[in-house]
Chains A and B, each alone.
Chain A
Amino acid sequence: MPAGTLYRGREGMWSWVAHRVTGVLIFFFLFVHVLDTALVRVSPEAYDTVVATYKTPIVALLEYGLVAAILFHALNGLRVIAVDFWIKGARYQKQMLWTVVALWVVLMLGAIYPVLGHAARELFGS
């Protein structure tokens, strides 16, 4: 079997699936996000009440998920751009994918404390 000619079921396909799923998720978040931000035109109380839900532990977990989706979509998006515009992009697409995954893991570890810290303090006391 010639190497590097199979797309289906391999890294290239799964990164494409993940790119698509994260892109759609971010779009739906953005729609809701513009609506909640629009509450600043209603009243400070209305805005602060809704934003208060953003600070609860369960939503903090969702925010961590959003960060995960955006970081993957952004890093893999740069990889897709490199595949399209860099002469050697296609040849190194696999290495670039593992670079994306490694960077993503590091950044997600770094995001644990800033994004989830306040939730942990609320749940377990400080």
Chain B
Amino acid sequence: MSTSEKTAAGVGPVEGGAVYTVDNPAPFIEAPRQRTRKTPKSTRGNFELAAWLFMRLSGVVLVVLVLGHLLIQLVLDGGVSKIGFAFVAGRWASPFWQVWDLLMLWLAMLHGANGLRTVINDYAERANTRLWLKGLLYTATVFTILLGTLVIFTFDPNIR
């Protein structure tokens, strides 16, 4: 058992419980986050709500995009064995698969980056550590999205 005292009723003695009476009421404590005339109209935006919703909407779309991608790359037509420059050239000759890959790139990177932001917020406790980890995360994310987009748009099947 723990060290906390318990009376027979299961409720410990309440310190100062009898101090306040009708003639001597307890001081009124305002509810936290009470709006007063001094508080600005909005103290925060709805960013976290938008991020929460984005995780769910992008998740639903990613189920189709990523599982479809895996099926094509790992299962159909001989699995990984068929992959090579010529295979990629064949796929990106079609605007449909270009758009598919572009959408998958942006959604998966933003979904994953936002997920990692949550993870960093959860585990990195020092303000400085959080700042550096998030800086690294955002840099890597922007770099990867730009590189992947560039590769899809500038792909050249006759590079050599």
Contact = CB atoms under 8 A, between A and B. Distances in A.
User: B interface, how many residues as a size bin?
Assistant: 35 or more
Contact of A118 (B59, B80, B112, B150): B80
Contacts, number: 101
Interface in B44-69: 56, 59-60, 62-63, 66-67
Of listed B79, B84, B86, B140, residue having the most chain A CB within 10 A: B79
A26 B79 CA distance: 20
Contact of A55 (B80, B144, B160): B80
A11 interface: no
A37 B115 contact: no
B158 to A, nearest CB: 10
A95 to B, nearest CB: 20
B92 to A, nearest CB: 8
Interface string A32-63: 00110110110110011001001100001001
B66 A70 contact: yes
A70 to B, nearest CB: 6
Contact of B159 (A41, A77, A81): A41
B103 interface: no
A23 B80 contact: no
B99 interface: no
A81 to B, nearest CB: 5
A78 B70 CA distance: 18
B18 interface: no
B148 A37 contact: yes
Contact of A74 (B66, B88, B144): B66
A47 B88 contact: yes
B19 interface: no
B159 A43 contact: yes
A77 B56 CA distance: 8
A63 B74 contact: yes
B119 interface: yes
Given A37-B148, A47-B88, A117-B79, 8 more contacts: A34-B144, A38-B147, A40-B155, A41-B156, A44-B160, A54-B83, A67-B70, A67-B74
Which 8 residue pairs of A and B lie closest in terms of their CB atoms, listed nearest first? A27-B112, A44-B85, A114-B75, A34-B148, A77-B59, A47-B85, A23-B115, A38-B151
